[in-house]
Structures are given as structure tokens and as C-alpha cells.
Amino acid sequence: MSRGLALALKAAVSGALILYLFSRVDLASVREAACRAHPEWIAAAIGLHVVGLGLSAHRWRSLLSVFHQGYGYGYLVRSLLSGLFFNQFLPSTIGGDALRAYQTPSDKGERISAVGVVFVERSIGLITLLVVGSVAALATENAVSEVLRIPFLILAFGSLAAFWGATRLPIGERGERKSEGIGRIGDMLRRFVEALRTYRGQGRVIGRAMLATILLQVNVILCWGVLARALEIDLPIESFFLVVPALALVLLIPVSINGIGLRENGLLALLVPLGVGAPEVVALAWVDYAIQLGWGAAGGVVYVFHRRSAGLEGART
């Protein structure tokens, strides 16, 4: 399938989901709900985003340290912001990850290891997300947890098994000889798997990254809780420990442009059964997305001044 056709299909799905949303929710009521937002709580949510950037940079730097890549926090934060620009304003959610891998090569200019770092980072994030969702589904008793409990547990154990297996793929001399026979792609695959295997025996590094990821997930959940408070949505914070991981999984489905349409309808499916009104749910989704777009725009400004050719001289500490 060509990129143009894939983009057109995603745009069609997003458009159809938005039309479906408009058939369910009165836009005037959504506007009224959004206008009730308390700016001090919106500011608090933005502040939590800043905390999240710091935690993301710390996790990334910890994982890079395995390859002796001593990038400074400032450089990594700028790269993360640039990645947000690519994620928000390109019709993909992996463009930012590709940029980050490109901007953090090894001392020899090797980027396969950087791709491996981003892969491990995302894997740890996904596993933590699923574990948090599983614990929340087991600890709460409501209409949403009853539906999500088994899927969360299956996905959590499956992702743990997949990550364990990926770091233990047998790549040795036989694998090297085979990769020579299939050319450059085989060699790249071999080096990527070797980068993953580097994390074997790196329990302290993985532990630090996991701790940063747990704190990051809690930070994201608190951010949603603060935004709900801003919109006067009366929902216990513990409910978001189930809702936020579930929404994140929905947004991983690559069928729309940057989750447009999926975000709103997904939140409706998760929050309306918990007693939240549909206009308030859509207002919550759009306020969060507006903040994300704001960070993406800021990332675009950072990207203009954050070029790898100019930044690598002072990138490593």
C-alpha cells in the first residue's frame, strides 16, 4: 500500500469518527464545558508536562549510558521537544522516535544502537503501562474494569514475554554468516538484535529506567486528573489509573491521523460508563489535545535551532 493511500485511509477514518462524534454530542454543550475550565488547574497540568519531560530525559539518558553515550539532559530535552513536533504535525506517531534515534548516534556515528535504545525505552513504557492498567483493573470494581481486566492481564504477560525473548535472540557466528548472505538489511537486523542483547545483565540500568517510567506514568495520570479537576469533572483520581492506560492503548492503533477521532470516542467509551457527561468528556479530550499541540508547536521552534550538526559538539558531557 502506498503512503498516499494509507494517509487517505487514515484521514477517512478520522473524518468518519469525528462525524460519529458530532452525531452523539452537542457541540454547544462541549463549548460550555470547556469555558468552565479553571486556568490555574490548566497551568498545573502544563507544569506536570514539564516534569514529564525531565523524567523522559532521565530514562532515555539511563538507557543510552549502556553504550557509553553521555548526552546531556539539555540536549535530550531539546530532542524530545523536537520529537513532539514531529509526532503532532506529521501523520504518524513514530516520526518523533525516528528523529530521536537520528540525533543520538554512538561515538562512531552508529545509529542502529540508538534505534535499539528507543525500542527498549518504548518497550519498558508499554510494559509499565500494561502493568499499571492490570493492577488498576484488579483493584477496582466497575463496568469498565470488568471489561478490561482480562485483556490487560493477557497483554501485560504477553509483552513481558516478548521483551524477554527479544533480548535473548541467539545471534552468534552462525547468525553473522547468515546475515552476510542477505546483505545490508540482514547486517542491520543483526546489529539491532545485538544492541538489544547489550541490556542483558544491565539490571541496574533497566531498574532506573523502569522507576523513571513508573513515575512518568503516574505523572501522566495525575495530569489527566488535574485536567478533569479544571473542567469540574467529579471523578476519583484512582479511576484514571485504569482509564489513561486504556486510552493510551487505543491511541496505539494506527488507523487514524494522530489519534484524531479515536481519542474522543475512546474517552467516551471509558468515562461515560463511570458517570461523566459526554460534553465534559469531549471537552477533556480537546483540552488535552490543545496542550499537546502547544507542546508540538514549541517543539517546532526548538527543532529549528536544534540541528544535530550544530548541537553534537556540546551534546555529550
**pLDDT of 15-64, one tens digit each?**
999 999 999 999 999 999 999 999 999 999 999 999 999 999 999 999 99
The proportion of the chain whose per-residue pLDDT surpasses 70, expressed as a percent, equals: 87
Average pLDDT taken over every residue of the chain: 87
pLDDT of residue 67: 82
pLDDT of residue 51: 97
Query: Strand pairing partners for 86?
Result: none
- The verdict on residue 62 lying in a domain is yes
Average pLDDT over residues 185-191: 75
Look at residue 244 and tell me whether its pLDDT is greater than 80: yes
- The verdict on residue 7 lying in a domain is no
- Range from 56-70, 83-97, 206-220, 261-275 carrying the lowest mean pLDDT: 83-97
Residue 170 banded pLDDT, cuts 50, 70, 90: low
Look at residue 310 and tell me whether its pLDDT is greater than 60: no
Q: What's the domain range around 227? A: 12-18+26-314
pLDDT of residue 317: 53
pLDDT of residue 217: 96
pLDDT of residue 35: 94
Residue 93 banded pLDDT, cuts 50, 70, 90: low
**CA-CA-CA-CA torsion sign (15, 21, 24, 28):** negative
- The verdict on residue 271 lying in a domain is yes
- The verdict on residue 254 lying in a domain is yes
Q: How far is CA 282 from CA 44, 81, 205, 231, 260, in A?
A: 20, 26, 39, 11, 12
- Range from 27-31, 197-201, 203-207, 299-303 carrying the lowest mean pLDDT: 197-201
- The verdict on residue 1 lying in a domain is no
- The verdict on residue 6 lying in a domain is no
Q: Which residue has the cell 550538526?
A: 309
Residue 109 banded pLDDT, cuts 50, 70, 90: low
Average pLDDT over residues 82-87: 91
Query: C-alpha grid cell for residue 140?
Result: 477496582
Count of domains for the chain: 1
- The verdict on residue 130 lying in a domain is yes
pLDDT of residue 309: 43
pLDDT of residue 176: 47
- The verdict on residue 32 lying in a domain is yes
- CB 100, CB 138: distance < 8 Å: no
The proportion of the chain whose per-residue pLDDT surpasses 90, expressed as a percent, equals: 62
